[in-house]
Chains A and B, each alone.
Chain A
């Protein structure tokens, strides 16, 4: 039983940490999820190495996915970090940030730039706790988060073509999220929703209004207890940017859906390894957004 609990715990652990940070907010994209620790973890640290490629864009109202020409390549390599620390049985704090090395290559240009993403700090309270067992009631977490303006926005000078250098909003923000988790071993589901309000600011002489980033994700996981303790998770994440006004011009809302697939392997009681694939070209009816595809590898350390 202890082993099964460990496998569930470690499998769940990496779910929200395996998401890739696309961080391309000019075009409607950023890290949609936030980390939550489960099952008596005191400290959880996660490192993610990822490579994301932008495949094209969907223009607003055009309902067309325009793929980039063959000579264009937009790559974002990132080293992501997040950590969760349990202050007490039902209280957690977390942080999340990534360092990006972005490049744009075409037949005429070869540009590269490195920037930090926006830094996210948050607090989570376990509303419906682990120990109240129910056949149907999920465990519920309520989180608040702050977005610190440490990233590079599309309004900052000296950018790369196609906004390849953008790593964040570079605006202060405050948001809230809910996480629902239910396990019917060996199947588990996680639903996470988040709304983040970004506050108006002047960025390099450009007036950017308050606006919203919303996200919702659903994930289903399966644990193979009898096959090297592998976990598979897969799901969808919907994200949207709404209500942004730039220099008195109302911009179009952005929207896209990411398909996520992860293979997770607990290495021992403390370390978990995962490989992840995220693709935004497979599902949904995106609007006014770049569409990306990414691979990432995560290593997670947990202390109980």
Chain B
């Protein structure tokens, strides 16, 4: 019985424990918000990415969310040409899409939603659903009409 008890004590107190480095989701969200505000300005404003094959830039802005649960997050994308003027994709040839992938665990989001053009160069996706809190790679994609990916811009976000 002594051996059994000593082994139990050794196991519980002699090894590293995840509890030594515990942080709650609330604390993490607060830390993330503070860090981004201090270091980079507001994180979801003025995020501009360039497509490689198209001479188009995409300014992305979360309208609601992004939420880590499968409830609707809304993303606005403003496409501009190199001069900065708003430009829409030719709907007879191209379509704008969204996707997200969690590289660490290797799976996609719950629902990528769909973009609606609401003005010249302005697209809103009102129905993006994530399914997990973690690091996500966000993709805004230009498809052809057969959903072949022609170009993509990517960025990382922690939900």
Q: Is B119 an interface residue (CB 8 A)?
A: no
Q: Is A63 an interface residue (CB 8 A)?
A: yes
CA distance A74 to B48 in the complex (A): 37
Could you tell me how many residues of chain B have their Cβ less than 8 Å away from some Cβ of chain A?
A: 36
Nearest to A260 among chain B residues (CB) is B11
B104 close to A288 (CB less than 8 A): yes
CA distance A251 to B137 in the complex (A): 13
Collect the chain A residues with CB atoms within 8 Å of residue B4's CB.
187, 220-222, 232, 234
Complex partner residue of A222 from B1, B106, B135, CB under 8 angstroms: B1
B7 close to A282 (CB less than 8 A): no
Task: Determine, out of A53-61, A86-94, A128-136, A142-150, the stretch whose residues face the partner at the interface.
Answer: A53-61
CA distance A288 to B104 in the complex (A): 7
Collect the chain B residues with CB atoms within 8 Å of residue A163's CB.
105, 107, 131-132
B25 close to A234 (CB less than 8 A): no
Task: Determine, out of A65-73, A75-83, A193-201, the stretch whose residues face the partner at the interface.
Answer: A65-73
- A63-B21, A244-B106 given as contacts; is B11 within 8 A of A284 (CB)? no
CA distance A116 to B146 in the complex (A): 36
- Considering the complex, which residues of chain B in the window 12-32 have a beta carbon less than 8 Å from any beta carbon of chain A? 12, 15-19, 21-26, 28
Nearest to B19 among chain A residues (CB) is A281
B104 close to A234 (CB less than 8 A): no
Collect the chain A residues with CB atoms within 8 Å of residue B133's CB.
57, 66, 162
Collect the chain A residues with CB atoms within 8 Å of residue B103's CB.
249, 251-252
CA distance A67 to B103 in the complex (A): 21
Question: Chain A nearest CB: distance from B29 CB in Å?
Answer: 8
Task: Determine, out of A7-15, A95-103, A153-161, A262-270, the stretch whose residues face the partner at the interface.
Answer: A153-161
B105 close to A64 (CB less than 8 A): no
CA distance A89 to B12 in the complex (A): 38
- A222-B4, A284-B16 given as contacts; is B11 within 8 A of A234 (CB)? yes
- A109-B71, A220-B4 given as contacts; is B101 within 8 A of A59 (CB)? no
- A65-B22, A109-B71, A162-B132 given as contacts; is B106 within 8 A of A27 (CB)? no
CA distance A220 to B11 in the complex (A): 11
Q: Is B134 an interface residue (CB 8 A)?
A: yes
Contact with A along B51-87 (1 / 0, CB 8 A): 0000000000000000011110000000000000000
Nearest to B101 among chain A residues (CB) is A249
Interface centre among A66, A187, A206, A236 (most CB of B within 10 A): A66
B21 close to A59 (CB less than 8 A): no
Q: Is B118 an interface residue (CB 8 A)?
A: no
- A162-B131, A259-B12 given as contacts; is B104 within 8 A of A252 (CB)? yes
Q: Is A31 an interface residue (CB 8 A)?
A: no
A67 close to B25 (CB less than 8 A): yes
Collect the chain B residues with CB atoms within 8 Å of residue A161's CB.
68-70, 110, 131-132
Q: Is B145 an interface residue (CB 8 A)?
A: no
Question: Chain B nearest CB: distance from A209 CB in Å?
Answer: 9
Contact with A along B85-127 (1 / 0, CB 8 A): 0000000000000000101111110100000000000000000
A to B CB contacts below 8 Å, 27 in the list: A57-B134, A59-B134, A64-B28, A65-B18, A67-B23, A109-B69, A155-B107, A155-B108, A159-B110, A161-B70, A162-B68, A162-B133, A163-B105, A220-B4, A222-B4, A234-B8, A235-B11, A246-B106, A249-B101, A252-B105, A257-B15, A282-B12, A284-B15, A284-B17, A288-B104, A288-B105, A291-B18
Binding site for A on B (CB under 8 A): 1, 3-4, 7-8, 11-12, 15-19, 21-26, 28, 68-71, 101, 103-108, 110, 131-135
Across chains A and B, which 3 residue pairs bring their CB atoms closest together, nearest first?
Answer: A246-B106, A251-B106, A65-B18
